[in-house]
Structure 1
């Protein structure tokens, strides 16, 4: 990167922390299988969900962090930093994988929910651990809910080469990502899954991460991402309305053409409808939500912001809590109507308390921009 005037670290955007916090709560609720509380999150009212936004914002934040280090003349440090983050996240994935296997097996036996581990895809690990563990380390064996962290590992590993290319050819650097995404949509390329499918194919999902990284770099260097234009707001709003219509047809709330329901499908390859919906939603949030308002400083705002600042740790805890809620709802199906809201709300409160505890552990010396 050409050396120019020093670039100051931008002030932390409270909106991003709160949005990331809301996404973590939404992901937790969506993973609580059988919970009718899922109607309270935005994924129930459109085509995309929090997964797309989480990947996009992570790309934006990491792209900004990497660019800042590079712009200050520490390109080697930036590459070393992103490599360390990638390896740390990979280790976290393996640890969560092993702990989740033990956790589910323990829940199954203690609650008497026969066959739950097999139903969730853990049978390969229990029957052939010598093959399953290396496959998990390669991120190709993904039982239920074990697919999101591998996406970040792959995308973070690609970040440095991508931003190197952006520095040299600008927005054209998105062309290889777009072509790879297109090939994944056509079925020409795919990441193989061992004993189970790949929940989020990196061949496709890398595009939304790279879009985020490109915009994060642009925001750091120019002070803006995309213009706030009435026409763009109108188009993005129409996309969200169309997404709501498609979702209502898919849930059989209203009657409509069968092809409309297909818009909510294809999450594993980030279907174009999902990508467009996610980008439209992100744009509207950026264009219409002010950087700071009084409600962001109330109890809920503070709780969401803390969750957002510790999104990786909260996400991992949320996986365990959501599995416990899912299994309890299945075990006590007859009482689920009143058990459901209590379990889900309690889980969300636990996530908030956990984030508060993590915040208290931080020292001023370690208070830095962390993106994951």
Structure 2
């Protein structure tokens, strides 16, 4: 856990209205473009989801040189906010269109199928992760691995712990994001149904649930004690906000996002967050932080998605959308291709990143913990993630081409027979 996590997060116990393409309104201010219901893929979403996966991997390693390049060291939010927002955006964009075209029942079936795929991936990840940790701890006679990775309870009561893991109540270290994603996906049919009725009302209800969560301390309990590291009752706000943006909200906000007032407010807030986080790393700057302000701000709770974290993400998003248009030529650059490929296969790359993070812990503990080895481990992990994403993309592309050729061959045979 970094210094930022220790200060900004409390200790954990036990560890559309429409999808149709609309013409852009004529306006004097620069327009902000967003994905529409067309066949063209939105590369910005893939880019930042891939970036989030890389940042999550680096943040899961012991602090090193690359850690200083992750956003959590310079503000209140981190890669998790990026991942959950884009997940809500893309899920609503894909399944919202399915709900409009095929109806509620069919869309719900597709959503539940996707949720089941994520659940299976989580169980598979849990099983292999436990085997990896147990093997390393036994082979090298170092029980600290089991304690550090949070699997001591599994080794003491494996029968009970496995059942709790299947119920998403027991999770080793670094395995908290997928359970949150699964729960949010299970509620996506209801979210889309409400947004089809009134998108703005749905977002307001989400904000109300967020406020009630803070007021009445709603949470999901974890095993053997404590609570979920990411409270779904709070983090649903970011997921629903992403869905709201995908289903017309972003287009309605385009003039607000194009406003210079919004830009300067966002920049001012980002600078404020930067100055605050610097006091966490440089204690000699602590006297610059007013005591009343510190008492009001701290702790900046990650578990319940503190409003300061949510606002920080909004400021980052506003600045990014302003200066990174959808048609930016750099999105086609080969230098950004690795990030985009990882973002396009996020589930597989996330699971891989969890394995690689523990492998990195092992290498740094058993071989060398120096700065050079930290850098080698971090860069190697990123290269492996890129290589696997490239292989998956190549395989799917080859399979699609084979299926297309077979389809064309069958069609030609039918035409010949009919002739």
TM over 0.5: yes
* Aligned 8 A contact 1:18 1:308 in 2: yes
Residues 122-148 of structure 1 deviation map (CA, whole Å, 9 limit, x = unaligned): 011111122111111111112211110
Distance in 2 (CA, whole Å) between partners of 1:331 and 1:226 is 53
Partner of 1:354: 388
Distance in 1 (CA, whole Å) between partners of 2:138 and 2:327 is 48
Partner of 1:215: 245
Distance in 1 (CA, whole Å) between partners of 2:184 and 2:146 is 29
Q: 1:330 is matched with which residue: 362, 365, 374? A: 365
Deviation for aligned residue 1:219: 6.0
Q: How does 1:276-291 map to 2 (within 5 A)?
A: 276-291=311-326
Q: 1:298 is matched with which residue: 326, 330, 333? A: 333
Residues 295-334 of structure 1 deviation map (CA, whole Å, 9 limit, x = unaligned): 333332111110110111001100110111123223345x
Partner of 2:162: 133
Q: How does 1:103-252 map to 2 (within 5 A)?
A: 103-196=132-225, 197-218=227-248, 227-252=257-282
Residues 217-273 of structure 1 deviation map (CA, whole Å, 9 limit, x = unaligned): 116997969642211122221221111112111222633326549557311111111
Residues 8-56 of structure 1 deviation map (CA, whole Å, 9 limit, x = unaligned): 5252121111111111111110011233321012222111001011000
Distance in 2 (CA, whole Å) between partners of 1:137 and 1:277 is 34
* Aligned 8 A contact 1:55 1:208 in 2: yes
Distance in 2 (CA, whole Å) between partners of 1:179 and 1:3 is 23
* Aligned 8 A contact 2:47 2:340 in 1: yes
Distance in 2 (CA, whole Å) between partners of 1:185 and 1:344 is 37
Question: Mind listing any 5+ residue stretches in structure 1 that lack a counterpart?
Answer: 368-372
2:206 partner SS: helix
Partner of 1:71: 100
Deviation for aligned residue 1:359: 0.5
* Aligned 8 A contact 1:68 1:220 in 2: no
Distance in 2 (CA, whole Å) between partners of 1:56 and 1:341 is 29
Distance in 2 (CA, whole Å) between partners of 1:198 and 1:307 is 27
Residues 192-234 of structure 1 deviation map (CA, whole Å, 9 limit, x = unaligned): 1112542111111111001101111116997969642211122
Distance in 2 (CA, whole Å) between partners of 1:220 and 1:12 is 17
1:206 partner SS: helix
1:351 partner SS: helix
Distance in 1 (CA, whole Å) between partners of 2:335 and 2:215 is 43
Distance in 1 (CA, whole Å) between partners of 2:251 and 2:276 is 38
Partner of 1:342: 376
1:268 partner SS: coil
- Going from structure 1 to structure 2, the CA distance change for 1:34 and 1:111 (only over 3 Å counts) comes to farther
Deviation for aligned residue 1:171: 0.8
Distance in 2 (CA, whole Å) between partners of 1:66 and 1:226 is 27
1:113 partner SS: coil
- Going from structure 1 to structure 2, the CA distance change for 1:36 and 1:186 (only over 3 Å counts) comes to farther
How many residues are matched?
A: 366
**What TM-score, normalized by structure 1, do the two folds share?**
0.90
Partner of 1:370: none
Q: How does 1:7-46 map to 2 (within 5 A)?
A: 8-46=37-75
- Going from structure 1 to structure 2, the CA distance change for 1:151 and 1:177 (only over 3 Å counts) comes to same
Question: Mind listing any 5+ residue stretches in structure 2 that lack a counterpart?
Answer: 1-15, 22-35, 402-419
Distance in 2 (CA, whole Å) between partners of 1:225 and 1:68 is 25
Distance in 2 (CA, whole Å) between partners of 1:299 and 1:3 is 34
Q: Which is further off, 117-126 or 343-352?
A: 117-126
Task: Report the aligned-residue RMSD.
Answer: 2.7
- Going from structure 1 to structure 2, the CA distance change for 1:90 and 1:274 (only over 3 Å counts) comes to same
- Going from structure 1 to structure 2, the CA distance change for 1:264 and 1:64 (only over 3 Å counts) comes to farther
